[in-house]
Amino acid sequence: MLTATLALLVTLSTLVRYSAGRDFEVPWISPDETVYALLGRSFWETGSRSLLGGDAWGYSVLYPTVLGWPLTLSDLAVGIDLVQALQALAMSATAVVVYSWGRKPLGGSWALVAAALTVAVPGLAYSSLFMSEALVYPLTTLALAAIAAALDRATPTAQALALGAIALALLTHVRAAALVPALFLAVALQCWFARDLGPARRQAGLLAATTTTVAGVVAGFALAGRWSDVFGAYAAAASGYELGAATADVFWHVGGLFVVVAGIPLLALALMVGRCAAGAERDPAASALVATAAAWTVAIVLEVGVFASRWVGHIAERDLLATAPPLFLVFGLWLDRGAPRAGLRTALVALVVATPVVLLPVARFAVEEAALDAFSFIPLWRLRESTSVTTLEVLFPLAAAVLVATAVLLPRRAARVALPALVASVLVGLSITSTREVTHLTRLERAWVFDTGERRWLDAAADGPVTYLHAAGAFSAGVWKHAFWNRRIEAVAQLEGAAPLDPLAPVSLTLRDDGVLRPVDGRAFQPELVAAPSELELAGERVAEAPRSTDLTGITLWRADPPLRIRTWRTGVQPNGDVLGTARITVYDCPPGALELTLFGKQGTPVEVRSGGLTWARPEIPPDVVWTGSIPASPDADGRSLCTFELLSPGLLGSTRIEFVPE
């Protein structure tokens, strides 16, 4: 009966997550989703892992490999559907791991409760995105279950399985490196619980094998002079932290973890650690579960908190996601043991658990910028938007305090029923709200980049390989979105001063005064088809153009004349033609001619038109009045020099034509 219920739970979770996630417009999170997708597609199409022709060593080995095959299908929409379905199944199947792990120490019923909570967290929405969390969640839980099994029964087979599961998790994401210190800390906790070094002696083989493996890998990289590469794509994150900032973020991430699991399971963990330390827990499997869960919680919160202090700036909830399953198991164990609470000690433990979340500066973390990484905080951000910061700052700590107080004060018999229901209702409520908002945010992102245009327009228009030209002022998100949807894009070039495209290593171009683009390293470079921001006019033939979106300039596909050269570059002109501040039009190899202008007033503020740094005209354009004019190039324009025109408007100015016309 319980097994059938588990199968039904996994099936329902898969269907619900897949159905809800089909409305997501992917890829959304740049560059992560596109990097994984391109690496996976490259592996299945060429047998190598490359990122638009460049080396992308250090990213997940396992996840892109699993992700890539469906994305090679000619119908990309079908491939995306298949990925989302498989990932929904993978994340939902974590419930099977949790149930199998918890059945011995908790019993089948409570293990099933823990399994149900495991698939209720908002983070399961990542199953509909191209994010490694889809595999990190089940495989990290599997590794933790294997560690607990080895702590319970220190057989060579169990220890080998634990080491293998840790390696599998590490191949999925470098974040799983926290499993190594977690293993050692779990053994230390077992020794503390037993008041004996026996657990350490029994785990000597596993600890020695883990130490040897880690030391061997680090030594190999160190001998090659690349020790930081052991962290893969996160090599830059290996150093450079400030103690104060790191300590604060670790503290805040404890509060963030409280939100991820609806608080009460975190309190249950603290109480069960106390129970085991007091020698009241006699079941080795139960103490192994508590030791593993506590060690993992400490290790991952330290790792993520320190990392976030420099690289994130908000609660990195998705990095904490794999902490939820073992915490739910400990929650079930605590309930199975009758929800023991020992008066004053429980009150002190509750105070310690509640302090980080009550003191959490929620207004700082419940913001739109955090939505990519913290789905549980999206409803809090929406609460702030719909009410006020003050309302959020009052209601949030109050809700956290109510959760803790309920867990402490509710009678034991009622607690065994009410507390799981309370945790489940909080998680489901957060999941529903956050999933709806992610759907909305991903749709806005698509409109921002593509408007209503066809996303695969480059593939439809190009008859050969395309090089995407990334220029200063252009948003990097546009590069990643176009690269995912258009397989014709085989290379990316970047002008000096453009926003970085890490981890992509584009061809770096320098712009000469005559408009010619040359690689900084001197290599030969003459692409035939170039997709460039529409603010650039290249020498060559226009092949096609994507529509401008609300905020981003359009993209034009050019059949470029050799050598690759820019004729005209406009900056400061919005996609809809508006100018606010300074618009600059630079003409390379400028011949005799004039800049033709059609402007119309919007706010009636004075406009200054300059040519070569000198003021040429100051037209006054009242609101809704159209002004046309032409500004001649400087007298020394001979086809070899540079011409610069500027429009200065302290208010909003409209335009329908800004074009240099040679004589």
The answer to whether residue 250 is domain-embedded is no
Measured between its terminal Cα atoms, the distance across the chain in Å is 86
619 shares a domain with 470? no
The mean pLDDT value for 283-306 works out to 97
Return d(Cα 329, Cα 293) in angstroms, integer: 9
Please indicate, yes or no, whether residues 410 and 493 belong to a single structural domain of this protein.
no
Of 608, 658, 612, the residue nearest 634 (C-alpha): 612
In a domain, 194, yes or no: yes
Is 245 within a domain?
Answer: no
Q: Are residues 93 and 17 in the same domain?
A: yes
Whether the pLDDT of residue 307 is over 80: the answer is yes
Average pLDDT over residues 432-442: 96
Percent of the chain whose pLDDT exceeds 70: 97
Q: Are 519 and 467 in contact (CB under 8 A)?
A: no
Question: What is the residue type of 347?
Answer: A
CA distance 246 to 547: 44
- For residues 21 and 75, the answer to whether their CB atoms sit within 8 Å is no
Among 568, 590, 609, where does a domain finish? 568
Is the model more confident about 434 or about 234? 434
DSSP secondary structure string, 351-396?
Answer: HHHHHHHHS--HHHHSSGGGTTT-GGGHHHHHHHHHS-HHHHHHHH
Contact 116, 72 (CB under 8 A): no
What pLDDT is attached to residue 524?
A: 85
pLDDT of residue 449: 86
CA–CA dist 181, 172 (Å, integer): 18
Q: Is the pLDDT of residue 179 over 70?
A: yes
pLDDT of residue 634: 82
Does one domain contain both 542 and 586?
no
Quote the DSSP letter at residue 498.
Answer: S
Report d(CA 598, CA 606) in Å as an integer: 15
- Residues 260 and 178 both lie in one domain: yes
The closest alpha carbon to 112, from 262, 30, 6, 268, belongs to 6
Question: Pick from 531, 416, 421: which is nearest to 467 by CA?
Answer: 531
* Domain annotation covers residue 243: no
User: What are the pLDDT digits (tens) for 336-364?
Assistant: 999 998 778 899 999 999 999 999 999 99
Whether residue 244 is contained in a domain is answered as no
Q: So what's the pLDDT on residue 228?
A: 60
Q: Which of 429, 444, 459 is the last residue of a domain?
A: 444
Rounded distance between C-alpha atoms, residue 40 and residue 44, angstroms = 6
Same domain for 435 and 455, yes or no, is no
**What is the domain-level CATH number for residue 624?**
2.60.120.260
**Could you write out the three-class secondary structure of 146-173?**
HHHHHHHCCCHHHHHHHHHHHHHHHHHC
Q: Are residues 421 and 482 in the same domain?
A: no
User: Is 198 found in the same domain as 77?
Assistant: yes
246, part of any domain: no
**Inside any domain, residue 241:** no
pLDDT category of residue 330 using cuts at 50, 70 and 90: very high
Same domain, 157 and 229: yes
Decide if 540 contacts 531 (C-beta within 8 A): no
Q: What is the pLDDT of residue 549?
A: 62
Residues 295 and 185 sit within 8 Å (Cβ to Cβ): yes
Mean predicted lDDT score pLDDT of the chain:
92
Range of the domain at 648: 577-663
Give a yes or no: residue 225 inside a domain. yes
DSSP string of 131-148? -THHHHHHHHHHHHHHHH
Q: Please, which residues have CB within 8 angstroms of residue 157's CB and are 6 or more apart in sequence?
A: none
Predicted confidence (pLDDT) per residue in 73-88, tens digit: 999 999 999 999 999 9
Nearest CA to 517 out of 535, 496, 503, 498 is that of 496
Q: What is the pTM of this model?
A: 0.92
* CB contact set of 425 (below 8 Å; sequence gap of 6+): none
Percentage with pLDDT > 90 across the chain: 73
Q: How many domains does the chain have?
A: 3
> Cβ neighbours of residue 472 under 8 Å, at least 6 residues apart?
495, 496, 497, 498, 499
Task: Tell me the pLDDT band of 229, cut-offs 50, 70 and 90.
Answer: low
**Which of 568, 593, 628 is where one domain is finished?**
568
Residues 183 and 328 in one domain: yes
340 and 431 housed in the same domain: yes
Whether residue 461 sits in one domain with residue 393: no
